[in-house]
Structure 1
Amino acid sequence: MRIDVEDLHIAYDGRTVVAGAHLIATEGEITGLVGPNGSGKSSLLRTVYRHLKPAAGRVLLDGTDLRELSPVQAARRVAALPQERGGDFELTVREVVAMGRTPYKRAFAGEDATDRDVVAKALADAGMADHTGRRFTELSGGERQRVLLARAFAQQTDVLVLDEPTNHLDIRHQVELLALLRAQSRTTLVSLHDLNAAASVCDRLHVLHEGSVVASGPPREVLVPALLAEVFGVHAAVVEHPLTGDPLIAFDHRAPADGPVLPRSGPTAAQVGS
């Protein structure tokens, strides 16, 4: 399923946060949104999973306006992993994942064989099949993200929307979660703070800056030093990752792009050698 965002405008309390955004997420690919804090990434994603109504413009799923769908129809097409989690669940891992079957159930209906099979597969795909009886509140941050991703898998949607899913995860859990996304065949729209993670996992990137999409394309074409300086305010070189061949951004941590290069603190090389 393809996503088309057309001339999207989003405003809060009369203040425009996204202005005239156009972007595409191609079927079966991972499309990333990157940009500084406050650039409009989360607001744009909220319109895609219908948490926020745009002031103008539209979101199309295979040519159908998202707002023309009923809540149930939309929930069968788009699953979301937002930043705001809605608090802790006093439920078991399996119970949380089974919530993903809600769009397919009649009121007060119990699970059927299809529900059980789908939940079991979602748990297995997310690597949580051995933790079904544990309480969600007992899990680590990485385990919770896996459970919430499994819940999204259980919705059996063609589209998956994730808002900074690697936030607050250690490096191992970040790598594991991004590997889970790569293993899926869903159309995925994800915002990421880590530009190197975005370059590695995404097929296509859209760069947001001050509410506008300022660049779009494959990571290798988009993440160039000039854009990194203009949008993110950093000096950087882009090289080839020695293990994967993906673009790897090496940041100069001594200075922002608009400031002087600062000398390193501590002893100089000459002092160390003396």
Structure 2
Amino acid sequence: MNVSVEDLSVAYAGRAVVSGVHLVAGDGEIAGLVGPNGSGKSSVLRTVYRHLKPAAGRVVVDGRDVWDLSPVQAARQVAALPQERTSDFELTVGDIVMMGRTPYKGPFAGDSATDRAVVARALAQVGMAEARSRSFSALSGGERQRVLLARALAQDPDVLVLDEPTNHLDVLHQVELLALLREQRRTTLVSLHDLNAAASVCDRLHVLHRGRVVASGTPHEVLTPELLAEVFGVRAAVVEHPLTGDPLIAFDHRSPAGAAAGTVAGDVSAPAARPAAATPAGPPPGVTEPERVP
């Protein structure tokens, strides 16, 4: 199922934080959103899972604007793992994951055999099957993250939206989660701060800066030393990963970048980068540096 964000603009208290954003995720594709803090990644994702209504533009899933769908239709198509989440649930792990089955139940309906099987499978996929009876509030941050991902998987959506899903995870569980995303082959939009993780898991990357998409393409096309210096303000070499062949970024922790972060005056396109065919180029100028949105 395809996802297309078309000419999207988002504002908070009258202040533009995203303007004229175009990006896509093809059927079964993992599309990553990367960019500095405050670049608009979370704001874009919130419009996709209907937590935030755009000021302009639209989000199209399978040919329909998500805001034209009923809440139940939208929940069956799109599941989210947002950054902001409650940590004081006095429920069991199984109860939390069963919430993902809500769009498939009628009013006051109990849990069916299918619901229980889907929940068991989702917990097994994230390595939390043995924790089904544990209290959610007693889990570590990483364990909670994995349970909430299981809840999204139990929703059985066509599209997954994940905002910094590797937060709180140790290295092993980060690797396992990214491998799970690739195995799913489900249309996915994911924001990641770890650029090497993004390079390894994403089929397509969209780079956001100051509320605009400034580069789109494959990780090889997008992650160049020039773009890293201009957008992220870091000096780095990009080499081939010896095990996977993905781009591997080696950051220079001793010297600052030649171009400081935040100096992009217009659209950034690395010399070797080519915009993805389905991604319109040329977002409009004029967006001021947004404040960090929690």
Once the two structures are overlaid, the 10-residue window that deviates more, 222-231 or 103-112, is 103-112
Q: Distance in 2 between matches of 1:259 and 1:7?
A: 29
Q: How does 1:1-274 map to 2 (within 5 A)?
A: 1-258=1-258
- Cα deviation for residue 180 of structure 1 reads 1.7
Q: Distance in 2 between matches of 1:67 and 1:131?
A: 36
- Cα deviation for residue 241 of structure 1 reads 0.8
Task: Tell me the SS of whatever aligns to 1:166.
Answer: coil
Where do 5+ consecutive residues of structure 1 fail to align? 261-274
- Cα deviation for residue 259 of structure 1 reads 7.2
Contact map agreement 2:8 2:56 (CA 8 A) in 1: yes
- Cα deviation for residue 170 of structure 1 reads 2.2
Task: Tell me the SS of whatever aligns to 1:76.
Answer: helix
Q: Once the two structures are superposed, what CA deviation does each residue of 1:122-162 show, in whole Å capped at 9, x if it has no partner? A: 11222211221111122222221111111001101010000
- In our comparison, the structure showing a higher alpha carbon Rg is 1
- Cα deviation for residue 256 of structure 1 reads 2.1
Task: Tell me the SS of whatever aligns to 2:253.
Answer: strand
Task: Tell me the SS of whatever aligns to 2:254.
Answer: strand
Large movers: runs of 4+ above 6 Å = none
Once the two structures are overlaid, the 10-residue window that deviates more, 44-53 or 82-91, is 82-91
Change (3 A) 1:34 1:258: same
Which structure dedicates a bigger proportion of its chain to strand?
A: 1
Q: Which amino acid aligns with 1:227?
A: L
Task: Tell me the SS of whatever aligns to 2:98.
Answer: helix
Q: Which amino acid aligns with 2:198?
A: A
Once the two structures are overlaid, the 10-residue window that deviates more, 99-108 or 168-177, is 168-177
- Cα deviation for residue 43 of structure 1 reads 0.3
Aligned length: 260
Task: Tell me the SS of whatever aligns to 2:110.
Answer: coil
Contact map agreement 2:206 2:215 (CA 8 A) in 1: yes
Q: Once the two structures are superposed, what CA deviation does each residue of 1:14-56 show, in whole Å capped at 9, x if it has no partner? A: 1111010000011111110000000000000000000000000
Partner of 1:266: none
Q: Distance in 2 between matches of 1:169 and 1:104?
A: 30
Q: Which amino acid aligns with 1:157?
A: P
* Percent pairwise identity: 77
Q: Which amino acid aligns with 2:189?
A: L
Change (3 A) 1:157 1:259: closer
Where do 5+ consecutive residues of structure 2 fail to align? 261-294
Q: Which amino acid aligns with 1:147?
A: V
Contact map agreement 2:59 2:66 (CA 8 A) in 1: yes
Q: Which amino acid aligns with 1:170?
A: D
Change (3 A) 1:154 1:67: same
Q: Distance in 2 between matches of 1:95 and 1:141?
A: 18
Q: Which amino acid aligns with 1:67?
A: W
**When the two structures are superposed, what TM-score results if normalisation uses the length of structure 1?**
0.92
Q: Distance in 2 between matches of 1:130 and 1:219?
A: 37
- Cα deviation for residue 98 of structure 1 reads 0.4
Q: Which amino acid aligns with 1:132?
A: R
Q: Distance in 2 between matches of 1:105 and 1:175?
A: 34
- Cα deviation for residue 88 of structure 1 reads 2.4
Partner of 1:272: none
Once the two structures are overlaid, the 10-residue window that deviates more, 245-254 or 114-123, is 114-123
Q: Distance in 2 between matches of 1:142 and 1:182?
A: 20
Q: Distance in 2 between matches of 1:168 and 1:91?
A: 21
Task: Tell me the SS of whatever aligns to 1:90.
Answer: coil
Partner of 1:269: none
Two-structure CA RMSD over aligned residues (Å): 1.3
Q: Which amino acid aligns with 2:243?
A: L
